[in-house]
């Protein structure tokens, strides 16, 4: 098993990237979020807000052109990259644009709300093989890997997978109960086998680095996070932290999960865990970062 540690305010403060006084939006990194489909528009909003609230200087949202109008009405502080779509999902015709844009960025996330199709499966495989920047795969970005999981061994970039137990079960072809009973072993073995970082969501989220030597147990959070959209916000937060951490996906995942959980604790203290929303958590990221920075 890897060396285990648990984040607290002090460790999180040490991890939080320092912001130089003469920094500009380029200094703090440009990230690309590839997300959304006709049935899932809100995920784009949450991911973008997570990235911006965690310090990214420039955020580009790449999405199927069929959702341009509802998406543009929700977002203001990012740039838009509408992509060719088919049946409400990103089309394979978008591949050259995605690969070109990824080269201009410091970190990429793919998968939030994109849905599943043969085109999505091909896009994921091509990104894994050709992307040269830190790459986060979430949601249907993970499900699209199931039938071609060994492609991870040929990646040209550092990769973070962010599965919940159901997605992890599909990736390793074991049932969910096996994953839940063997959480630490499952992600450590997987990380070593495929040389990828893994964040396994759930009660006491676990994050393992790409060679299986470091394991972070995150104890922040509560059932207020058990709502659709929480994972999209987390992916945005992690990609937003990655550039200022020098591209270190493992550190970004540990810090992002910790802050994400603390936002839920703060919101639920006011609204209860029943009524906590991912958008509430997004609104409170700044309060948590401020509290960490001001801690002794």
The DSSP result for 141-173, as a single string, is HHHTTGGGGGGGGG-SS-EEE---HHHHHHHHT
- Two tokens at 65? 């052109």
Residue with structure tokens 């630490």? 184
Q: From the centroid of its chain, how far is CA 137?
A: 7
pLDDT of the chain, 296 residues: tens digit per residue: 568 889 999 999 999 988 999 999 999 999 999 999 999 999 999 999 999 999 999 999 999 999 999 999 999 999 999 999 999 999 999 999 999 999 999 999 999 999 999 999 999 999 999 999 999 999 999 999 999 999 999 999 999 999 999 999 999 999 999 999 999 999 999 999 999 999 999 999 999 999 999 999 999 999 999 999 999 999 999 999 999 999 999 999 999 999 999 999 999 999 999 999 999 999 999 999 999 999 98
Alpha-carbon distance 133 to 143, whole Å? 21
The structural architecture, per CATH, of the domain 3-15+27-293 is: 3-Layer(aba) Sandwich (3.40)
Give the closest residue to 122 by CA, choosing from 86, 81, 164, 174. Answer: 86
- Two tokens at 275? 């009524």
Q: How far is CA 131 from CA 36, 57, 110, 211, 280, in A?
A: 20, 21, 11, 20, 33
Specify the 3-state DSSP secondary structure of 271. helix
Beta bridge partners of 265: none
Domain extents in the chain: 3-15+27-293
Q: From the centroid of its chain, how far is CA 241?
A: 10
């Amino acid at each position: 098993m890897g060396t285990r540690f648990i984040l607290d305010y002090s460790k999180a403060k040490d991890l939080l990237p320092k912001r130089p006084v003469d920094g500009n939006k380029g200094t703090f990194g440009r990230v690309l979020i590839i997300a959304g489909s006709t049935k899932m528009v809100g995920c784009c909003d949450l991911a973008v807000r997570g990235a911006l609230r965690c310090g990214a200087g420039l955020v580009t949202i790449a999405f199927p052109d069929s959702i341009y109008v509802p998406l543009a009405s929700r977002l203001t502080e990012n740039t838009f990259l509408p992509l060719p779509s088919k049946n409400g999902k990103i089309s394979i015709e978008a591949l050259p644009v995605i690969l070109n844009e990824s080269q201009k960025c410091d970190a990429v996330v793919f998968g939030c709300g994109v849905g599943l199709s043969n085109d999505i499966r091909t896009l994921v495989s091509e990104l894994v093989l050709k992307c040269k920047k830190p790459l986060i795969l979430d949601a249907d970005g993970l499900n699209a890997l199931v039938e071609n999981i060994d492609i991870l061994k040929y990646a040209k970039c550092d990769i973070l997978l962010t599965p919940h137990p159901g997605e992890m079960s599909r990736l390793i072809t074991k049932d969910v109960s096996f994953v839940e009973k063997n959480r630490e072993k499952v992600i450590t073995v997987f990380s070593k086998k495929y040389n990828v970082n893994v964040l396994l969501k759930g009660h006491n989220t676990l994050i393992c680095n790409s060679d299986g030597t470091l394991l972070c147990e995150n104890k922040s959070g509560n059932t207020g996070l058990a709502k659709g959209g929480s994972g999209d916000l987390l992916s945005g937060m992690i990609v937003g932290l990655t550039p200022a951490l020098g591209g270190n996906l493992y550190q970004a995942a540990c810090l992002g999960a910790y802050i994400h959980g603390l936002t839920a604790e703060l919101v639920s203290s006011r609204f209860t865990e029943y009524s906590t929303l991912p958008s509430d958590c997004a609104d409170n990221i700044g309060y948590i970062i401020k509290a960490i920075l001001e801690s002794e």
